[in-house]
Amino acid sequence: MSSLNLKGLNFTGLARLALAAGLTLSVSACFRPLYGPTASGESLQSVLASIDVPEVKWPDQQARIGHYLRSELIYALNGSGSATPKKYVLNLSLAQTLNTPIVDAQSGRAQSATLVGNLTYTLTTPDGATVITKGTATSQATYDRFEQRFASVRAAREAEIRLAKTLTEQVKTRLAATLQARS
């Protein structure tokens, strides 16, 4: 026995089914895959590779995470390492905070910490005259603090790396969506 029961289906039922199928097919043409070719026919990967991520003079407390951010962005945008002519410049600004929600009552030391990062980015033309897109990516990374100082330092560093990777993925996805429709 078939799972599709056609006995009780009358003309209006067939019309509704045909209408639903037609709407589905017509709307499916509206969607474009994010990592498919751009509007100009150029591959999105080559458009992303044409973004320059310049060196930033980070404040001392942000130097390490700033280095991680820039390295992750360069790799995410141009993982091939090929020399591509740069059509865009990505300017970055980071605001980060450290929250310690759990404090041990006996020792007065924080048992965990949450590193919160807000990465503001602006994509411009190389001369800086035209802003293509701008926005802010926000994420957080939590880590445990230990009585052993070096274990806590290493946990904080790993949280910075995780935060940099998460922020990078957000920025890359937003840039890809913008450049997919623009290029």
Place of tokens 């030391």: 109
pLDDT digits (tens, 9 = 90+) for 106-145: 877 778 899 999 999 999 999 989 999 999 999 999 999 8
Backbone angles phi, psi at 155, to 5 degrees: -65, -40
Q: Classify each residue of 88-107 as buried b or exposed e, where b means 16 or more C-beta atoms within 10 Å of its C-beta.
A: bbbbbebebeeeeeeeeeee
SS3 at position 119: strand
Q: Determine contact, residues 110/144, Cβ cutoff 8 Å.
A: no
- Domain 11-182 has what CATH class? alpha beta
Helix axes 63-77, 149-182, angle to 10 degrees: 40
Give SS3 for 7. Answer: coil
Domain boundaries, the chain: 11-182
Give the tens place of pLDDT for each residue, 16-44.
777 777 777 666 555 556 566 666 778 88
Using CB atoms within 10 Å of the CB of residue 160, give its burial: 0 to 12 exposed, 13 to 18 middle, 19+ buried.
buried
